[in-house]
A and B are shown apart, each in its own frame.
Chain A
């Protein structure tokens, strides 16, 4: 393929390296050396990638966690234009400001729907295994180019602005990545099997309503723990859904599967383990309470979980 994911790994690596360099020279940052070290180590992960020996990469990850965990990652003072200047600029540029922002989804869709099978010679234009991500990368580059042209600035200013946003999110940037590592370790260590064993051995499944409730709540709880519905589904469907709901109560497997996966999603709305949906947005929107997004989602997730139990109970025979 011509445009592969590796291109964007290098670009992100360079972005983090630039963050490190800008941070070490930033006198407004009270922890500039350790903060620069943190972003520098992360840059290595992207720039060297598979060339890093796994044990070294593991060491890098632990070092980053210790630097962040001890409070050594701090933001510098953000350099933003005064509000009056921004208002004047908004009036001057008007709706043209929306064009680069909308270019990201538009190019992503074009790439993943139209360009996905395009070949140049014998090679794919876009990496066929990562079409969406690669298309989104192209969309982001196009958006940056449009934004630079529209505002008459350089891509370097774009890098400075990206650093401002990364600084504001701080270590929350790496949390989803580290949680994914923990998820993989959980499955390697057999955590899923242990949970399924406990769930099927100790919960009463001898009435249809209880079995439905145990299945839906089990999906949600296991997702709360793992942070990912895809990890919960095989375990709970294999432990309760298929043997009990389908095997004993003769439920329609399609209904069981669909409502089961949605019950898992109710769990995703309630857990800090799903960091990229719940913790990162709180950081991105500069909320003081890191659990504010989860709290806003509870009044939707809990009634919906109850509704799922009833929907499964009444719809399982079609």
Chain B
């Protein structure tokens, strides 16, 4: 069977997969993949360089969302924002890491579903507030945490922000993904009401909440189990 599709650019994907599997520096992996893809698509070197440069300039709006809040957040950290958040959560007796993150998951997902995606995020909410509070909730109940457990709690805080954002925002009608889907279906001659697309996202959005909340409960049990073991080990010593 004759095919007009050039399959060689798939080597670019292979380069990325190989690089990440070999745990090479990701920045080098990306550059190597750019080179491989360019060669496979028969782009001349000068043209490839111009494509890369043009794209690098065009996408420089992307890091802004991370960079802009750093000065304010860093300054607040210097003067005790984390410590304040931790002292606040330690006073709530019923607070556990899992319950706190479940509340954050619900708030993040519902807010994103109403289009308020900026009410969260890693630099302005997770690092200064959510992760320190999640750690403090565990410390208030179980005492000092092992380093592994502390890192696990932080990672889970970041994961909770992502899950809430992703599965909330797609239920919002004016979100870019809905517009994109509508445009692509229209190009294929299929007319779809964006409201119906947003509504059919709801079953998955609810399932995502249930599954992640369940995983947060498992995190609570793991914290309790590991802390109990440490306490016993501490007494034995």
A interface with B by C-beta (< 8 Å): 5, 8-9, 12, 15, 45-46, 49-50, 52-62, 64-66, 68-69, 71, 80-81, 83, 86-91, 93-95, 97-98, 100-101, 104-105, 108-109, 112, 130, 132-133, 136-137, 139-140, 143-144, 146-148, 150-151, 153, 155, 157-162, 164-166, 171, 173-182, 184-186, 188-191, 193-195, 197-198, 225, 229-230, 233-234, 237-238, 242, 246, 252-255, 257-259, 261-262, 265, 268-269, 272-273, 275-282, 284-289, 292-293, 295-297, 299-300, 303-304, 307-308, 311, 315
Contacts and interface: CB of A to CB of B under 8 A. Distances in A.
Contacts of B118: 104-105, 108-109, 112, 132, 136
Contact of A59 (B49, B59, B151): B49
Contacts, number: 428
A68 B26 CA distance: 10
A187 to B, nearest CB: 10
B66 A237 contact: no
A277 to B, nearest CB: 5
Chain B interface bracket (under 10, 10 to 19, 20 to 34, 35 or more): 35 or more
B215 A304 contact: no
B122 A284 contact: yes
Interface string B45-79: 01011111111111111111111111111111111
Contacts of A276: 62, 65-66
Nearest to B126: A281
Interface string B92-107: 0000000000000000
Given A233-B180, A262-B201, A147 B6 contact: no
Given A272-B20, A304-B211, A140 B69 contact: yes
Contact of B53 (A5, A54, A265): A54
Interface in B1-44: 3, 5-10, 12-13, 16-17, 20, 25-28, 30-31, 33-34, 37-38, 40-41, 43
Given A97-B76, A177-B59, A262-B170, A61 B52 contact: yes
Query: Which 6 residue pairs are nearest across A and B when measured between Cβ atoms?
Result: A161-B74, A90-B80, A57-B53, A58-B53, A69-B28, A189-B41
Interface of B: 3, 5-10, 12-13, 16-17, 20, 25-28, 30-31, 33-34, 37-38, 40-41, 43, 46, 48-84, 87, 116, 118-120, 122-124, 126-129, 131, 151-152, 154-159, 161-163, 166-167, 170, 176-177, 180-181, 184-185, 188, 190, 192-193, 196-201, 203-205, 207-208, 211-212, 215, 218
B50 A58 contact: yes
A237 B70 CA distance: 38
B75 A144 contact: yes
